[in-house]
Chains A and B, each alone.
Chain A
Amino acid sequence: MNEYIKIFFIILQRDLTLVFRNKAEFINPLMFFVIVIILFPLAFGSDATLLKQLTSGIIWVTALLATVLSLETIFRTDFEDGSIEQLILARYPLTLMVSAKVTAHWIIFGLPLIFIAVLTGFILSLSSQTMFALFFTLLLSTPVLSLIGAITVALTIGLRGGMLLSLLILPLYMPVLIFSMLAVQNATAGQSISAEIYFLAGILVLALTLAPITTAAALRIRLS
């Protein structure tokens, strides 16, 4: 068991080191996120009440798009340089190593995304309850985005284009988006958001348990 934890952290550290040496890879999707959000006030004009209604939705949809852009980095280089074969042939369960890689993706992308989202919400003058809901929904959802994303990336890696990836993945993100936006709307109206938060937490637990197994199976299929 101890050995398994050790392997988990070795793979995690490997992926984090790689990303910090190639910073563009993780900064670019985050920059995309910020820029697209800034485009909306430019397009809609400076009508404050209209913007207030739209901002949380804009932040959420843009977060989904930025996630799709960032997903390929989970497996692309491993696929190109043959590391993925070595992970499959290692003496440890592939599920474990896939979990480590997805965790790395969340730390690199999901975590900064939450803070940037809250920061942009602040700049676009969201109310404090809305920001609170935004923060919590993103905190529970970004791991789900990475986990479900990993399955789809594993299936499509090496095939042509990221377009297929976005077509496959965005429908899978809908439940998360629906519950998150419900929570944000309730919070804005001053109501309780616990029901939606429980639902999102449930989805997270489900994804956390099943997604790594599915991703491992998808990788094996992709390579055979």
Chain B
Amino acid sequence: MALFKVNNLQCVRRDNILFQGLSFKLEDGGLLQIDGVNGSGKSSLLQMCIGLIQITEGNISWNQTDIRDCRYQFQTDMTYFGHTNGVKTGLTALENMKVMHALSGFKSEVDYSLILKQIGLAGMDDVLLSRMSAGQKRRVGLTRIFMASSKLWLLDEPFNALDKNGKKIIEQLIVSHCKAGGMVIFATHQTMEIDGYPLQHIHLG
């Protein structure tokens, strides 16, 4: 049983308090949506959750241990997908996926072509990302959630630049991950179309 817990968190950016006293917890199968207007601290919250931004007040724990004390274990258990795609436009889809797979620790055997097919880019293995559209690049970036087989996904605006079909694919992925006992935290201001799965909400700002 895994537990992700945020306790009394405060976020200060450029001398502004974006939010304070924020607490929530997520257990196996938990699905959490963070929404709020632009600049309300959605991305900052996610970056604090993964330890990129220093925590000034409050604490975040993974399985009862502060994430600063179990950095390696925590990074092994989670996958972060930011508002930038984290892929190189000078590499092909396949090369990017190989790097992502390596960085995630070669955890599982993966079939790159199959993953591309699942994400809606069938047959584009050897296409340079600089020749792809914004939505296609985003999809290549999203393939990292297949590589890592991590417990916790943190997705920052995952639907940006994606078309209807792409959005649907990601929604299905998120739900099936949660149904299999995973946890997902994502920030978006778009409405999610998830039928029959309990969704937690945090509204910032």
Interface residues of chain A, those whose CB is within 8 Å of chain B, are 3, 6-7, 10-11, 14, 17-18, 21-22, 77, 80-83, 85-92, 223-224
Having A224-B53, A224-B54, one finds 7 other A-B pairs with CB under 8 Å, namely: A10-B98, A17-B90, A80-B84, A81-B86, A81-B88, A83-B86, A91-B75
Is B86 a contact of A14 with CB atoms below 8 Å?
A: no
Is B50 a contact of A81 with CB atoms below 8 Å?
A: no
Is B72 a contact of A14 with CB atoms below 8 Å?
A: no
Is B95 a contact of A17 with CB atoms below 8 Å?
A: yes
Interface residues of chain B, those whose CB is within 8 Å of chain A, are 50, 52-54, 72, 75-76, 80, 82-91, 95, 98-100, 102-106, 128, 144
Known A-B contacts A89-B50, A91-B103, A91-B104; the reply to A18 vs B80 at CB < 8 A is no
**Residues in B neighbouring A77, C-beta threshold 8 A:** 88
Among A11, A14, A223, the residue within 8 A (CB) of B91 is A14
Is B72 a contact of A82 with CB atoms below 8 Å?
A: no
State the Cβ distance, B106 to closest chain A Cβ, in Å: 7
Is B86 a contact of A82 with CB atoms below 8 Å?
A: yes
State the Cβ distance, A30 to closest chain B Cβ, in Å: 19
**Residues in A neighbouring B86, C-beta threshold 8 A:** 81-83, 85-86
State the Cβ distance, B187 to closest chain A Cβ, in Å: 15
Minimal Cβ-Cβ distance residue in A for B154:
A89
Is A81 a contact of B91 with CB atoms below 8 Å?
A: no
Once bound together, how far apart are the Cα atoms of A207 and B105, in whole Å? 28
Is B90 a contact of A22 with CB atoms below 8 Å?
A: yes
Among A81, A91, A224, the residue within 8 A (CB) of B85 is A81
Is B84 a contact of A92 with CB atoms below 8 Å?
A: no
Among A14, A85, A88, A91, the residue within 8 A (CB) of B95 is A14
Minimal Cβ-Cβ distance residue in B for A18:
B90
Once bound together, how far apart are the Cα atoms of A81 and B138, in whole Å? 11
Minimal Cβ-Cβ distance residue in B for A223:
B52
Is B88 a contact of A89 with CB atoms below 8 Å?
A: no
Query: Which of B54, B83, B90, B95 neighbours the largest number of chain A CB atoms within 10 Å of its CB?
Result: B90
Is A89 a contact of B106 with CB atoms below 8 Å?
A: no
Once bound together, how far apart are the Cα atoms of A6 and B103, in whole Å? 10
State the Cβ distance, A84 to closest chain B Cβ, in Å: 9
**Residues in A neighbouring B84, C-beta threshold 8 A:** 80-82, 85
- List 10 A-B pairs, minimum CB-CB distance, nearest first: A82-B84, A90-B103, A91-B105, A82-B86, A86-B86, A18-B90, A10-B102, A21-B90, A224-B53, A224-B54
State the Cβ distance, B108 to closest chain A Cβ, in Å: 13
State the Cβ distance, A88 to closest chain B Cβ, in Å: 7
Is B91 a contact of A83 with CB atoms below 8 Å?
A: no
Query: Which of B80, B82, B86, B87 neighbours the largest number of chain A CB atoms within 10 Å of its CB?
Result: B86
Among B82, B90, B98, the residue within 8 A (CB) of A85 is B82
State the Cβ distance, A125 to closest chain B Cβ, in Å: 41
The 6 sampled A-B contact pairs (Cβ below 8 Å) are A18-B91, A82-B84, A85-B80, A85-B84, A86-B86, A86-B103
Is A17 a contact of B82 with CB atoms below 8 Å?
A: no
Is A83 a contact of B88 with CB atoms below 8 Å?
A: yes
Once bound together, how far apart are the Cα atoms of A90 and B3, in whole Å? 21
Is A91 a contact of B76 with CB atoms below 8 Å?
A: yes
Once bound together, how far apart are the Cα atoms of A83 and B91, in whole Å? 13
Query: Which of B53, B83, B87, B88 neighbours the largest number of chain A CB atoms within 10 Å of its CB?
Result: B88
Query: Which of A87, A89, A223 neighbours the largest number of chain B CB atoms within 10 Å of its CB?
Result: A89
Minimal Cβ-Cβ distance residue in B for A85:
B82
State the Cβ distance, B82 to closest chain A Cβ, in Å: 5
Once bound together, how far apart are the Cα atoms of A214 and B171, in whole Å? 40
State the Cβ distance, A169 to closest chain B Cβ, in Å: 26
**Residues in A neighbouring B91, C-beta threshold 8 A:** 14, 17-18
State the Cβ distance, A10 to closest chain B Cβ, in Å: 5
State the Cβ distance, B185 to closest chain A Cβ, in Å: 15
Is B106 a contact of A3 with CB atoms below 8 Å?
A: yes
Known A-B contacts A82-B82, A85-B80, A91-B105; the reply to A14 vs B52 at CB < 8 A is no
